[in-house]
Amino acid sequence: MDVPHRPPRHPHAWLPLLLLSQLLVAWAWWRWGWPLGLPLMLASHGICLWGVLAPNVALYGPVLSRLPTADRSVWLTIDDGPSDDTAAILDLLDAHGAKATFFLVGERAAARPGLVREIVARGHGIGNHSLTHPQARFWALGPRRMRAEIEGGQQALATITGTAPRWFRAVVGHANPFVSAPLHEAGLARVGWSARGFDALDGDVERVLGKIERDLAPGAIVLLHEGAAHGRNPGMIAQLLQRLDARGYRTVLPDP
């Protein structure tokens, strides 16, 4: 499927906008005092934080959250591997004639290169999901560490497969101002999602699948995980594939 691939074109565009907003806040504070200046300052900071924490917000660069199609097709994306679940998930996908993109963590990929090559050999996609998956602090990484996470993940996966990934999934979906520059330089486009069940945390299969099904629609990007502590990710994916088949959905991968 032909999907717009949009790496950030102007990775530092946020900086003049931020400076301008704070100059306006300072002017309003000087002109009308704190009763207006303080709320404006809090609002401007809130908008900046919203762009960091909200997964599909494009404040710091483009993010793809659904496919441009009216067909009953979805893009399955599987985060956090490779893991002990990867082989079982590949067999499930094969059994249903389904395809998915695996957003892999660089260090985990380097530890299990055979699984990474098997993903590619079976016709699935590979995406960059950072080098070390620092989920508690990815949102607050500075420019040097952010670059190391993105470039390190890219290098690890390219070394194993011979091809650099084209898609990036931010850890926990967070993206601060320092994400765009390394994505621009690596030619990576950021991918969000439009359907999720919180399967990385919730081990209740019916509850997880119910949340995903509520958001299923033509062009949905479905967020899934592997290797969760509850150990039920393969079972969840098995049932999701059955339900997709029953509802007439097919899985697609973005070109190429």
Q: Are strands 125-128 and 221-225 parallel, antiparallel or unpaired?
A: unpaired
Query: What span, in angstroms and rounded, lies between the C-alpha atoms of 28 and 39?
Result: 10
Query: What span, in angstroms and rounded, lies between the C-alpha atoms of 139 and 175?
Result: 6
Nearby residues of 70 by Cβ (< 8 Å), 6 or more positions away: 218, 219
User: In this structure, what are the phi and psi dihedrals at residue 137, rounded to the nearest 5 degrees?
Assistant: -135, 10
Query: What span, in angstroms and rounded, lies between the C-alpha atoms of 249 and 31?
Result: 58
Give ∠ CA 194-198-201 in degrees, rounded to 5.
160
Query: What span, in angstroms and rounded, lies between the C-alpha atoms of 159 and 174?
Result: 26
Give ∠ CA 225-66-116 in degrees, rounded to 5.
35
Contact 3, 255 (CB under 8 A): yes
Q: Catalytic residues, which ones? A: 79, 225
User: In this structure, what are the phi and psi dihedrals at residue 134, rounded to the nearest 5 degrees?
Assistant: -80, 75
Q: Which of 203, 195, 239, 95 is nearest to 87 (CA)?
A: 95
Query: Does an H or E element contain 77, and which?
Result: strand 73-81
Contact 44, 25 (CB under 8 A): yes
Query: What span, in angstroms and rounded, lies between the C-alpha atoms of 165 and 150?
Result: 11
